[in-house]
Amino acid sequence: MKPPVAVVVLAAGAGTRMKSALPKVLHPLAGWPMVRHVLENVRRLKPARIVGVVSPGAKDVAAAFAPHPTVVQRQALGTGHAAKAALGALKGHRGPVLVVYADAPLLTTATLQRLIDECRKAKAAVGVLGFVAHDPTPYGRLITNGGMLDKIVESRDADEAEKAVDFCNSGVMCLDGALIASLLGAIRNNNVKKEFYLTDAAAIARAAGHAAIAVEGDEAEFQGINSRAELAVAEKVMQQRLRAAALEAGVGMADPDTVWLAADTKFAADVTIGPNVRFGTGVSVGAGTEIKAFCDIEGVRIGRDAIIGPFARIRPGSDVADRVHIGNFVELKATRMGRGAKANHLAYLGDSDIGAASNIGAGTIAVNYDGYGKWRTVIGADAFVGSNSSLIAPVRVGAGANITAGSVITDDVPAGAIAFGRARQVTKKGRAAALRAKLKARAAAAKRAKKS
């Protein structure tokens, strides 16, 4: 059997160009911290172990690696020094060791697997992922000879012939686990920055008579993220991938470029999505459901054949069953909608349970917050809540009950009952003209007082 892979994820960079209190690798990309994308990609390789390398005090970054262990790079002395910090956590590992970067979330599992396969095939001590750069100026060059990688030359150290090479270093490396300690131990910091460069491992391996190879990949996968602008570019790339995958899986989109997905959004076939829809994390949508334009949806399971929107907002903790209708300007928060229930217009349903086939009228509010606590509203099956009703939680409305329009409901309503809670109408015939005259005079007096 082939020895398993181990993965070292370098996450100790300072990220100062992000100009943020949030560590760089925790900035979101398609709803996930960018380091999570890297971890998900390497997990698909089924590695024997994953080790993160973090900076001192980076507790939030270390937590993002859980349940995988992390080690601390005590001083920022370069990538070779960072990789060396992981050696203790790799003790006893004899298979390939993949070194990747937590700020490069666009690199795919398939490309990583190809690097591993090529290293095994060539029995290489070192393998490097490279790319033909549109503009090679800022990148280290991969200097090859007879199909082997001789060395990696940093851009600032390259001579004119080496600068003419457009085959560039991505930074991603695969090292033989049996040789990694000796390779990293031989790296020296005799350079201007006095740092230990992981890239030196290629020349060290060749000098020791071992094979070193370079494997070409797509430049778009190797984009590192060091600034807000680069994060925005990566978001566009990630969204294009997610939209393409959804379309391929049978999802219909009227205008894909205006639909924004999270990394974990799940669609069944025959879902249709209108323009300008945003999906946050934790959303699954059942077959045949239509999401109309300008909806914002996060943290919800939506069943089959539902109709959502336009202009609906569904917040985390909600569950929408099959054949539910959620109409324009309706907001759900931590609310369960039973099969076939409807809330078609201008309603807020927070912390609620709405029974199957119940109808929620326009302007209905589940008043869930009293200034101190959140309380639930529970409505049974086949109930009818009239327009402009306020349900003061905690309150229960029984199955088949009818709440008349304009009611304020403060007490439980039994099943099958009619309930109303509104002021009695008073009509004074012939008094409208006098009221208008009074109001007109008051407005005129206020205007005169303002001028004086």
pLDDT of residue 390: 98
The answer to whether residues 184 and 300 belong to one domain is no
Please say if the pLDDT value at position 1 is more than 80: no
The answer to whether residues 47 and 120 belong to one domain is yes
Please say if the pLDDT value at position 300 is more than 80: yes
- Position 289 in a domain: yes
Residue 379 phi/psi, 5° resolution? Answer: -120, 130
The model's pLDDT over 110-145, given as tens digits with 9 standing for 90+, comes to: 999 999 999 999 999 999 999 999 999 999 999 999
- Position 171 in a domain: yes
For residue 452, name the pLDDT band (cuts at 50, 70, 90). Answer: confident
- Position 431 in a domain: no
Q: How does the average pLDDT of the chain come out, rounded?
A: 96
Beta strand pairing call for 418-419 and 384-385? unpaired
Out of 27, 37, 81, 345, which one is annotated catalytic? 345
The answer to whether residues 141 and 205 belong to one domain is yes
**CATH number of the domain that residue 57 is part of:** 3.90.550.10
Say which residue the tokens 């990747």 belong to: 100
Please say if the pLDDT value at position 423 is more than 90: no
Lowest mean pLDDT among 161-170, 185-194, 341-350, 437-446: 185-194
The pLDDT > 90 percentage for the chain reads: 94
* Of the residues 191, 222, 253, the one at which a domain ends: 222
Q: How far apart are CA 212 and CA 148, in angstroms?
A: 6
Structural domains counted in the chain: 2
The model's pLDDT over 398-410, given as tens digits with 9 standing for 90+, comes to: 999 999 999 999 9
* Of the residues 222, 249, 272, the one at which a domain ends: 222
**CATH number of the domain that residue 402 is part of:** 2.160.10.10
The answer to whether residues 310 and 360 belong to one domain is yes
CA distances from 255 to 30, 275, 387 (A): 18, 5, 34
The answer to whether residues 161 and 262 belong to one domain is no
- Position 253 in a domain: yes
- Other Cβ atoms within 10 Å of 177 Cβ, number: 19
Q: Taking residues 289-312, what's their average pLDDT?
A: 98
The pLDDT > 70 percentage for the chain reads: 100
User: Environment class of residue 405 by beta-carbon count within 10 Å: exposed (0-12), middle (13-18) or buried (19+)?
Assistant: middle
- Other Cβ atoms within 10 Å of 211 Cβ, number: 17
The model's pLDDT over 27-83, given as tens digits with 9 standing for 90+, comes to: 999 999 999 999 999 999 999 999 999 999 999 999 999 999 999 999 999 999 999
For residue 265, name the pLDDT band (cuts at 50, 70, 90). Answer: very high
- Position 435 in a domain: no
- In the annotation, is 345 catalytic? yes
Residues 206 and 148: beta-carbon distance below 8 Å: yes
The model's pLDDT over 152-167, given as tens digits with 9 standing for 90+, comes to: 998 888 899 999 999 9
Residues 264 and 246: beta-carbon distance below 8 Å: no
Sheet-wide strand order for 277-279: 259-260, 277-279, 296-297, 313-314, 331-333, 348-350, 365-367, 390-392, 408-409
Beta strand pairing call for 300-302 and 284-285? parallel
Residues 169 and 130: beta-carbon distance below 8 Å: yes
Q: Taking residues 415-432, what's their average pLDDT?
A: 93
What element of type H or E holds 299? none
The answer to whether residues 38 and 166 belong to one domain is yes
The answer to whether residues 261 and 379 belong to one domain is yes
> pTM to 2 decimals?
0.91
- Position 434 in a domain: no
Q: How far apart are CA 235 and CA 256, in angstroms?
A: 15
Q: How far apart are CA 262 and CA 32, in angstroms?
A: 8
b/e map 328-345, b = 16+ CB within 10 Å: bbbbbbbbbbbbbbbbbe
For residue 191, name the pLDDT band (cuts at 50, 70, 90). Answer: confident
DSSP conformation letters of 81-132: HHHHHTGGGGTT--SEEEEEETT-TT--HHHHHHHHHHHHHHT-SEEEEEEE
* Of the residues 200, 222, 244, the one at which a domain ends: 222
pLDDT of residue 443: 93
* Domain span holding position 213: 6-222
The answer to whether residues 401 and 296 belong to one domain is yes
pLDDT of residue 256: 98
Lowest mean pLDDT among 219-223, 277-281, 306-310: 219-223
- Position 349 in a domain: yes
- Position 121 in a domain: yes
